[in-house]
Structure 1
Amino acid sequence: MSKDNLFKNIEKKSGVNMQELFKLANSIQGANFKDEKTVRGIIQEVGKLANKKVPKETEDQLVKTITQNPQAIDMNKIAKMIDGKKKK
């Protein structure tokens, strides 16, 4: 399977535009994860990209978690925080 076909399959299944995903990935390289405004912007962009509304409370928790210790960003923990809000 070619790289283009792989990306098209991912787009089809996830609904996420791969060009937008790459653009986001490039924009966060070297980002200051100790800066609240930067982190909020990234969270909002990810929400838009995924076509999901991130509740203010969840955004606040993510910002706090990420800005307090940016070296320890654990994507599984962040995903669980978001999924936990859906189950209520």
Structure 2
Amino acid sequence: MPKIIISERLIKLMNKNKCEYSVRGNNIEECLRFLCEEQSEFEEHLFYPNKILKSHFLISLNDTVSSLDAKVLNDDVIELLIATSGGIEKKNQY
């Protein structure tokens, strides 16, 4: 069974205790939808109201950047990461 690993930051935002979930599906999108069926609170964090994955996520499949339609096999690992937007600004740094 494939598994999804959710970034630590997102897990903290959602007040969850674990970051790894076993899922079912033929591609990454189906696996994410399965996760949301099993853990309903994920849906509002992962998808826009029109059911499209929010644009600030990066998806990897077995450590390679991937797309929602990528085929998933039984022992695959999907990682859902929040894309970074920069660092912390320090006052009077420049």
Check whether TM > 0.5.
no
Normalising by structure 1, we get a TM-score of 0.32
More helix by share: 1
Higher RCO (CA < 8 A, seq sep 6+): 2
